[in-house]
């Protein structure tokens, strides 16, 4: 399923006067229409009449990358606070109104963005427009709400990180691989920062980043564009744009030596989290490495699965991921050992697999399989209105192209075996590698009762 490039539209639905129609882009058998209001609010509209539902996404270009040391976790805490009181809605009313109308609603925060969504029966779209415009400009941030939500987030952190082996290891991995760039800290934030936030911190963050000129609204579902645009203009046109400060981030300096950390955890099997410094999502190498990752880790016929799980029976779980971040991120490779095999043995095997793709080109058959798997994966993500809205919102926020997923698919199709080897040589370098080993507590010569908490501090050995 390929998509032609965007063309200036002469057949776009007529929009109310205040809107500027930017482009009309083919998307999943229809089009996505891009519009902008004078205050900077960007709206993406995709009509999909296959089910009587609509999904309303609001993406803000703010994530944990925009935080400062000492204030980590603010973007995520803020996501929680957005479900609280507004000037027009008492605490708890927001969720009540959505539930009463049968809506699904949630939000997510990551390093580069935060998004909120509501999926509703189509005749209830007005509610999403009203609630989202209300909380974009009239959120109430007071001590009781902030204090209670801090506790909830602290519990979320315990659940996802402190008592979760994978969550804890992932946190240490990024902390180790990044030293000055904000990807160093976890999106959920350090516990001491979470517990120290004040309503003033939250208010400053809100006034800066929650504004129409920092947002993308995506409407996808059984609606008619003209009516939706009229309603959105009425609800948002009066909200002033904010001054988004220029980004003030130190790029991560090149890594010259491998880094490693060993953690002791109450787990029954060793785990190895290896990461090489990777490209930014917008970099041409990102698509190439994504295809390589599919060859190495995608499915049971992939190299790592075949060698580590099937043939050598050393691992139970293998995963690879090229981080999809605005700035250069990591190429992560995670392996869980099958006892009695241990972390070091597994690492050696993993590095042999890595070295092999640097030395020899992969086979054409491996490449074709990877491309077919990536095509299937994109098609699967377009099954629901919510899935389509997420694709459009993510690609618009990251690359300024709501149909970017299809462009990526075309890029995957163009990748050659030679390009894969070059990308492997460029990125999979020993000196730019960070490793977190997780060992069962009873394993190793220095295991003691305090092992886990000491190790969890993440001493970096260079």
Partner 1 sequence: MTIERLEVAGTPVVVERDPRIPLVSMSFMFRTGGASDPQGKDGLLRLMLRGLRRGSGGRDALAFEAAVDALGGEMSAEVFTSSCGVHAQVISRNLEPFMELVGQMLGDPRFPEEDVRRLRQESIAEIVDARDSDRELANLALRRGLFGAHPFGRLAAGRVSTLEKLGRGDLVAAHQAHVRAANMVVGFAGDITAEVAARITEKLIAGLPAGPAPESALPEPVQAKGRRLFFVDKPERSQTQVLVGRLGTHARDVDHFPLVVANAAFGGTFTARLMREVRSKRGWSYGAYARLALERARHSFSMWTFPAAESAAECLALELELLGAFYKEGITEKERSFFGKYLSRSFAFDIDTAQKRIGQALDVDTLDLPADFYSSYRAHLDAVTREQANEAVRARLSPDDLVIAVVGTQATLLDAVQKAIPDLAETTIVPFDAD
**Among residues 7, 88, 142, 152, the one that binds partner 1 under rule CB under 8 A:** 152
Pairwise CA distance, residues 79 & 292, whole Å = 34
* 67, 245 Cβ separation under 8 angstroms: no
Q: What are phi and psi of 315, to 5 degrees?
A: -130, 150
Residue 163 found at the interface with partner 1 (CB under 8 A): yes
Question: By rule CB under 8 A, what count of residues binds partner 1?
Answer: 67
**Among residues 16, 26, 121, 458, the one that binds partner 1 under rule CB under 8 A:** 121
Residue 454 found at the interface with partner 1 (CB under 8 A): no
- Residue 336 tokens read as 């869980």
Least separation in angstroms between CB 17 and partner 1: 33
Residue 69 found at the interface with partner 1 (CB under 8 A): no
Residue 3 found at the interface with partner 1 (CB under 8 A): no
Residue 266 found at the interface with partner 1 (CB under 8 A): yes
Residue 368 or 459: which CB sits closer to partner 1?
Answer: 368
Closest CA to 189 of 207, 204, 200, 202: 202
Closest CA to 386 of 26, 33, 126, 51: 51
Q: What is the total residue count of the chain?
A: 462
Residue 88 or 299: which CB sits closer to partner 1?
Answer: 299
Pairwise CA distance, residues 132 & 56, whole Å = 9
Stretch that binds partner 1, among 34-42, 126-134, 147-155, 236-244 (CB under 8 A): 147-155
Residue 147 or 359: which CB sits closer to partner 1?
Answer: 147
Least separation in angstroms between CB 179 and partner 1: 28
Residue 378 or 460: which CB sits closer to partner 1?
Answer: 378
Neighbours of 454 (CB within 10 A): 13
Residue 100 found at the interface with partner 1 (CB under 8 A): yes
* 402, 27 Cβ separation under 8 angstroms: yes
Least separation in angstroms between CB 277 and partner 1: 28
Query: Scanning residues 349 to 378, which ones bind partner 1 (CB under 8 A)?
Result: 365, 368-370, 372-373, 375-376
- Residue 157 tokens read as 């952190």
- Residue 3 tokens read as 């998509």
Least separation in angstroms between CB 121 and partner 1: 5
| DSSP letter, residue 246 | P
Residue 41 or 357: which CB sits closer to partner 1?
Answer: 357
Least separation in angstroms between CB 76 and partner 1: 12
Own/partner long-range contacts of 347-353 (Cβ < 8 Å, ≥24 apart): 347/272, 347/274, 347/435, 347/437, 349/307, 349/308, 349/312, 349/314, 350/272, 350/274, 350/304, 350/308, 353/296, 353/303, 353/304, 353/307, 353/308
Residue 457 found at the interface with partner 1 (CB under 8 A): no
Pairwise CA distance, residues 443 & 77, whole Å = 37
Question: Which residues have CB under 8 Å from 151's CB, separation 6+?
Answer: none
Residue 380 found at the interface with partner 1 (CB under 8 A): yes
Residue 274 or 452: which CB sits closer to partner 1?
Answer: 452
Residue 126 found at the interface with partner 1 (CB under 8 A): no
Residue 267 found at the interface with partner 1 (CB under 8 A): yes
Detail the DSSP E strand segments found in 141-193: none
**Among residues 2, 14, 198, 310, the one that binds partner 1 under rule CB under 8 A:** 310
Residues interacting with partner 1, by CB under 8 A?
A: 1, 28-29, 50-53, 92, 95-96, 99-104, 119, 121, 124, 148-152, 154-156, 158-159, 162-166, 266-269, 298-301, 306, 309-310, 313, 316-317, 336, 338-339, 365, 368-370, 372-373, 375-376, 379-380, 382-385, 441, 452
């Amino acid at each position: 399923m390929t998509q032609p490039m965007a063309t200036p539209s002469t057949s776009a639905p007529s929009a109310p006067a205040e809107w500027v129609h930017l482009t009309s882009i083919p998307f999943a058998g229809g089009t996505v229409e891009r519009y902008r209001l004078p205050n900077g609010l960007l709206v993406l509209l995709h009509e999909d009449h296959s089910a009587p539902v609509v999904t309303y996404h609001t993406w803000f270009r703010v994530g944990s990358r925009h935080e400062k040391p000492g204030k980590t976790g603010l973007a995520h805490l803020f996501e929680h606070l957005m479900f609280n009181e507004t000037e027009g809605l008492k605490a708890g009313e927001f969720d009540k109104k959505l539930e009463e109308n049968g809506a699904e609603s949630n939000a997510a925060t990551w390093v580069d963005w935060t998004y909120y969504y509501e999926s509703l029966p189509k005749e209830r779209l007005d509610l999403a427009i009203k609630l989202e415009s209300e909380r974009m400009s009239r959120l109430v941030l007071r001590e009781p709400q902030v204090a209670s939500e801090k506790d909830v987030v602290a519990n979320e952190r315990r659940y996802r990180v402190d008592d979760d082996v994978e969550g804890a290891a992932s946190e240490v991995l990024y902390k180790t691989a990044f030293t000055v760039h904000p990807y160093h800290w976890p999106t959920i934030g350090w516990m001491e920062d979470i517990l120290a936030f004040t309503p003033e911190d939250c208010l400053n963050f809100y006034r800066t980043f929650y504004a129409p000129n920092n947002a993308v609204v995506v409407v996808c579902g059984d609606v008619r564009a003209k009516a939706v645009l009229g309603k959105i203009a009425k609800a948002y046109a009066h909200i002033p744009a904010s001054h988004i400060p220029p980004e003030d981030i130190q790029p991560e300096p090149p890594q010259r030596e491998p880094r490693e950390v060993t953690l002791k955890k109450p787990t029954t099997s060793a785990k190895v989290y290896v990461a090489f410094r990777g490209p930014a999502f917008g970099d041409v190498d990102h698509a190439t490495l994504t295809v390589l990752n599919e060859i190495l880790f995608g499915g049971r016929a992939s190299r790592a699965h075949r060698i580590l799980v099937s043939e050598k029976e050393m691992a139970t779980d293998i995963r690879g991921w090229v981080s999809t971040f605005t700035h250069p991120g990591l190429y992560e490779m995670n392996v869980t050992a099958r006892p009695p095999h241990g972390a070091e043995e597994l690492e050696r095997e993993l590095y042999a697999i890595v070295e092999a793709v640097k030395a020899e080109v992969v086979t054409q058959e491996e490449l074709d399989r990877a491309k077919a798997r990536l095509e299937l994966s994109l098609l699967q993500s377009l099954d629901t209105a919510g899935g389509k809205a997420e694709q459009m919102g993510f690609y618009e926020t990251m690359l300024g192209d709501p149909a970017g997923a299809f462009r990526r698919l075309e890029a995957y199709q163009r990748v050659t075996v030679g390009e894969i080897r070059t990308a492997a040589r460029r990125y999979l370098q020993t000196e730019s590698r960070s490793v977190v080993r997780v060992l069962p507590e009873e394993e190793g010569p220095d295991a003691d009762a305090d092992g886990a908490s000491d190790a969890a501090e993440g001493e970096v050995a260079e």
